[in-house]
Structure 1
């Protein structure tokens, strides 16, 4: 075939590889797309070393969807919302109840953020600091001489800004408006092949307005509670409870929209949004007016504002209860017909965490949200004074929920590092080292406890034991760094002396890379610790809500313990860790203004959480998956149809393999769907059918098997991969390396005998079925006639000569006459 008869369409991964590097051409030519989604073509065809076959290469660069600006990078501060949205797609199937629970939990996390901001602004800074002469003079001198009502009004600015930012960020989208008439999802859960799935769901604006309304209602209720502040001309409780009741009605309206998740064509959520804004202005105006003349002189501080303890306790208790309810819903889904079908599949595709990934990810998101809220409050108190659990002690009173939350994060900051070494050792199959590290961690935990018990000799003895165990574990880890089986596999790849230089380095790299199959252990450990701490904090909050005497102040025993040295140190440590995390995220956002490399780093995190539509939490990074999938599909159809290219090979690296898989799923579904009566649609059926006959797929460095099919079993599970595998046959090959810590095999069924794929006498890869394992490096022994190749790991697949051979074989399979392929009720046959 002529070079122009074969086009390889390369799609990069989350690192946003520049098109110049993807094409090996410093001056590629733009051929399609726009300034955000670009298609560029290399100036010269690429030639396969082994066969001499040539092809044209294009690059689809979608990295600007996520890595383009600092404002987008600042989304990282709201990472708990994005993680919770991700949890929705890890469910085992259609679960209305579980989805509703996730949406409610998302609403609770939004309210946590807004409540923490209002608490810091109104209760800590305005009431306790600005309302006290000594603290006001030292920290907030610009408030000197102001009426308390005016300070209270200024205190609305921070929560108001947070609400505005949430509303504004929730409105952002990178998607085109849908074309044609297929705007309704084909199934309730959606699918990668559903065109409507990739557009902004009509439910998302309703969810966004409901979140904004709930945030306004919560802040308004806090202002309504302030009306009960003791003062000579205090208004009647009837007014306060009436305003609270109005807020409860607005909040119930918002909760109803979240639970039912209606279509924006069914519910005018704008009325809810503006009603909540008016309610907030009403509540803030009344509180400002009635508390305008509250004295703030040298005689003392303003009486505590009512409502904050109750609201923080309710949110903590709700987070705990919703996690438990979500666990129950996932248990039910796990034992449903769909859950049993997914869990009993091949163990290589079995859902992560035995089908409870939604609980794990939701627990992680809730842990972060609770930590961010508590850390913010604790840091502010630590800035203006000493945090104390109740009035009557020297310092500023901090809500028990925030004190407990900061302390629990302090426990997490100690426990997780102690778990890190044994878990990592277990991940790389160092069992003896893992046992030694675990024993050392136990000794270290004992040392921490003895330090607070003032047992000097016991503390140092535990430290010595922990250090000795860790040292022995480290020595054991180094002595057994390379497994026998791994070394034998490397020697088989590079025949010759088994002790020659380079064998050990390659074997060690492969063993470390194999830990990717156990990455979820580390994430699961963090989620388990965080979930337990969230349940502990929520259980305490629920007990305080149930006990009348504990609502305004913590129990005496708890208050005394919160004032002890261990509790204060745990709280300070937890708040420092959380503050450090938030500070790092903010610095990343600021650095993206100046550093393209930093934009890439931020883009990687964003790419991993922003692929899916916003259906659990509407205020998270705008999803790019739809735009990327639709653009890639359109380009493939254009090349195959209008440019009459004989073979279009979609070539996806890492996350790009998911985009390619979604594009083929979409193309397949469009080929099955007849044209509507009005003739308006995304792709005409005839064009989709013609394109599908001319498209092949090469994936490399892909997570489709070991990660995505297990994390998102309903959308990318074994059945979906097998269906595409059966339909494409030899038109889909996967390439991977044993040294790749992120990519791996994808098509490992059925098991077949290994054979070599040659690109020259000394250049070859090992083929098993339609999976090709590249040697990395390409050769070990120096060869004066060949350029030495480094360990490439997850990068530079294009530079391996065997990769060109694989693409050439896929192109040949596309262009060769094929047997009949059946897609549902549609039959495709014939050659290119």
Structure 2
């Protein structure tokens, strides 16, 4: 008996909806990721062609537990991690350079995370607020700081970023044990979907996590010592500063060494070295805190915390420089015709940097609002009385940049988006008229509705280019702003005080501080709603399903990679069904089609011979081949169909046309599309299935777009054809009929 094993896409679709059966039982797996079949006692356990129905529900790995919604706060880490997989298909040396630059950038993102907590706890509270009686007045929760010396206040408030680092460490170890722990024993080079070790990220994640923890604690130590050492000028302080510098330098060098970051064959000393680094950083932090608590001469804090503002600015400048170098390497080595000129990686990484800067600025200004007890707490104000507390001036540039980003997005949408929509609708008319001849004459409004659905789906193919027009000017502005920040120039000081230009800039910066605060609040609010409502959990899950498919090869503290469990687990189950249960049709929708395709490449040869593949709404060509050309390309797509057809050299014989892989797609689908591979048969479905209201009905057939593939006749025809191939052992192409389209 052939089994159709269905794999859902994003949003954590319930298994009952995947199989269109209300009563199911779990036959394998667990509550996080399990295999389900209809209950035999209620009948209707088979599907088209007499297949045994089975669904694999993996959605709880990303969208099931409400607590995981808080991973939204780790969005910058996720974007930094995805950037390493977005590289073009380049040579070995360029690949190593791109990976090294991306991993160094990921380390700086961890440092930025720590600095955001240092700004709130140490600078705003421990240094600025605690030194002013007016700020402490009526705040009993800060009473512990009143009688402490300046250095001891810094030590106490340094516990907040230390606890944040400890929480990241705990979360990283917990997800490391639950996700990357699926057993994989086969050797491989780990660089390609066909290699089993590609999904074995546990060893690398462990080593990278130790280095990131070392940098996190080292960043905290460096800021604390940067305040204390110039004041004390003591040998012990200099020794601690030297040790901190060694740990930071060693960590940044280590992530560029193949001996440390090679996924499958690191040096023997790599794991002990990284573990020693993290433990040494913890011990060093304890020594620095103890040093901070030593008795000192009376020391009055005033203004902003020394060194810190410069540290924030320099770190941001380094991050911008890394993005520029990364973009230069990509442009110099990319193959011709690469989507977005191969710059998808730098663009996504820069987005992560922008989100991190916005989060940091938003928290700083809102905490300053709270402590200042005033409505507008920003250093952009031209008030005669200075603010009690002032966040770093560099955050003003972040606020102004956020406003610029929004303005550019609106302008690009108006200038490029509206003409694009008109052009796409003209093309959509051709599609609609070809599918439903004579329909436009009978019902122009119905035809326009279908035109809109087709045109809206086609926008996906042009969004990337539109984003380039948003991010390139923003990146240029970021470079200019970084230069001004390094020179100590604030945005409001670019014009004469009291002038109209100065007032406009002040208003822009003030607006930006509240807009980024609103954006950060909205993100947290969505996380809170996800605790209570499944619908919001699914919305959060969509983001993570797309961003956490790839292993944590750059940033180990990003949300975990569910595919490192899903793909090996699917391969084991599908292999058993193929070898022991008569054969299997791997049936994947949307993101599930990507998982199913990756699973095919992991199957042993004896299982591949009894496996076929059905994909629908698949983003393999439309999205993955564009954005991840080094890992999803013509060769990989060709191999997927070839291994199923038992073509050992990866090439089908002449006349042999995709006997074992069928892909269904629609023009109204904004995500899925044809895979355009000689080893796959693309079958286009007209959507909606009919133009006019059917006899006995009262409403028009709806436009399904990305959903409902398994409810159409063509789906059943595809399954039946693939069953025939498996049952007969034939290499002939299965017959897949397009659904009838009525023009009446």
> Shorter-chain-normalised TM-score: which range?
0.7 to 0.9
Distance 1:653 1:280, change over 3 A: same
Residues 367 and 531 of structure 1 are in contact (CA less than 8 Å); yes or no, is this contact kept in structure 2? no
Distance in 2 of aligned mates of 1:417 and 1:72: 32
Distance 1:626 1:620, change over 3 A: same
Q: 1:734, CA displacement in angstroms?
A: 0.7
Aligned residue pairs total 689
Distance in 1 of aligned mates of 2:436 and 2:413: 34
Task: State the match for 1:518 in structure 2.
Answer: 462
Aligned partner of residue 613 in structure 1, secondary structure: coil
Distance 1:731 1:598, change over 3 A: same
Q: 1:101, CA displacement in angstroms?
A: 0.5
Task: State the match for 1:394 in structure 2.
Answer: 386
| 1:510-567 CA distance string (max 9 Å, x none) | 11111111121343334324423332333334x43xxxxx5xx879955977994333
Distance in 1 of aligned mates of 2:619 and 2:296: 59
| 1:113-151 CA distance string (max 9 Å, x none) | 211210221111221112111122166774274323443
Task: State the match for 1:113 in structure 2.
Answer: 113
Task: State the match for 1:146 in structure 2.
Answer: 147
Aligned partner of residue 730 in structure 1, secondary structure: coil
Task: State the match for 1:420 in structure 2.
Answer: 413
Tell me whether 1:746 sits opposite 2:682 in the alignment: no
Of the candidates 675, 696, 704, which is equivalent to residue 792 of structure 1?
Answer: 704
What does residue range 498-577 of structure 1 map to in structure 2 within 5 Å? Answer: 498-501=440-443, 502-541=446-485, 543-544=486-487, 557-558=493-494, 564-577=502-515
Aligned partner of residue 161 in structure 1, secondary structure: helix
Of the candidates 255, 273, 287, which is equivalent to residue 278 of structure 2?
Answer: 273
- Structure 2: 5+ residue runs without aligned partners? 646-657, 734-744
Residues 229 and 238 of structure 2 are in contact (CA less than 8 Å); yes or no, is this contact kept in structure 1? no
Q: 1:689, CA displacement in angstroms?
A: 2.4
Aligned partner of residue 60 in structure 1, secondary structure: strand
Distance in 2 of aligned mates of 1:9 and 1:689: 19
| 1:624-658 CA distance string (max 9 Å, x none) | 11211111111111112222x1x411110000000
Residues 413 and 577 of structure 1 are in contact (CA less than 8 Å); yes or no, is this contact kept in structure 2? no
Distance in 2 of aligned mates of 1:252 and 1:580: 37
Residues 120 and 367 of structure 2 are in contact (CA less than 8 Å); yes or no, is this contact kept in structure 1? yes
Of the candidates 161, 169, 177, which is equivalent to residue 171 of structure 2?
Answer: 169
Q: TM-score, normalised by structure 1?
A: 0.78
Distance in 1 of aligned mates of 2:431 and 2:246: 67
Residues 12 and 64 of structure 2 are in contact (CA less than 8 Å); yes or no, is this contact kept in structure 1? no
Q: TM-score, normalised by structure 2?
A: 0.86
Q: 1:238, CA displacement in angstroms?
A: 4.6
Distance 1:370 1:128, change over 3 A: same
- Structure 1: 5+ residue runs without aligned partners? 296-300, 344-350, 431-480, 545-549, 668-687, 751-768, 822-832
Q: 1:108, CA displacement in angstroms?
A: 1.0
Of the candidates 283, 287, 291, which is equivalent to residue 286 of structure 1?
Answer: 291
Tell me whether 1:782 sits opposite 2:693 in the alignment: yes
Task: State the match for 1:678 in structure 2.
Answer: none
Aligned partner of residue 606 in structure 1, secondary structure: helix
Of the candidates 565, 577, 582, which is equivalent to residue 627 of structure 1?
Answer: 565
What does residue range 548-627 of structure 1 map to in structure 2 within 5 Å? Answer: 557-558=493-494, 564-627=502-565
Distance 1:413 1:492, change over 3 A: closer
| 1:13-45 CA distance string (max 9 Å, x none) | 012111111111110122222222211113424
Distance 1:558 1:259, change over 3 A: farther
Task: State the match for 1:310 in structure 2.
Answer: 310
Task: State the match for 1:662 in structure 2.
Answer: 598
Q: 1:429, CA displacement in angstroms?
A: 4.5
| 1:228-256 CA distance string (max 9 Å, x none) | 57xxxx63355544332221112112212
Distance in 1 of aligned mates of 2:696 and 2:660: 34
Residues 184 and 196 of structure 2 are in contact (CA less than 8 Å); yes or no, is this contact kept in structure 1? no
Q: 1:737, CA displacement in angstroms?
A: 1.4
Task: State the match for 2:186 in structure 1.
Answer: 182
Task: State the match for 1:730 in structure 2.
Answer: 659
Distance 1:352 1:577, change over 3 A: farther
Q: 1:785, CA displacement in angstroms?
A: 6.1
Distance in 2 of aligned mates of 1:191 and 1:809: 31
Distance 1:391 1:186, change over 3 A: farther
Distance 1:70 1:534, change over 3 A: farther
| 1:693-727 CA distance string (max 9 Å, x none) | 11111111111111101111111112211232344
Distance in 2 of aligned mates of 1:200 and 1:292: 51
Aligned partner of residue 499 in structure 1, secondary structure: helix
Q: 1:570, CA displacement in angstroms?
A: 2.1
Distance in 1 of aligned mates of 2:712 and 2:297: 74
Distance 1:123 1:504, change over 3 A: same
Q: 1:194, CA displacement in angstroms?
A: 1.1
Report which stretch shifted further, 399-408 or 284-293: 284-293
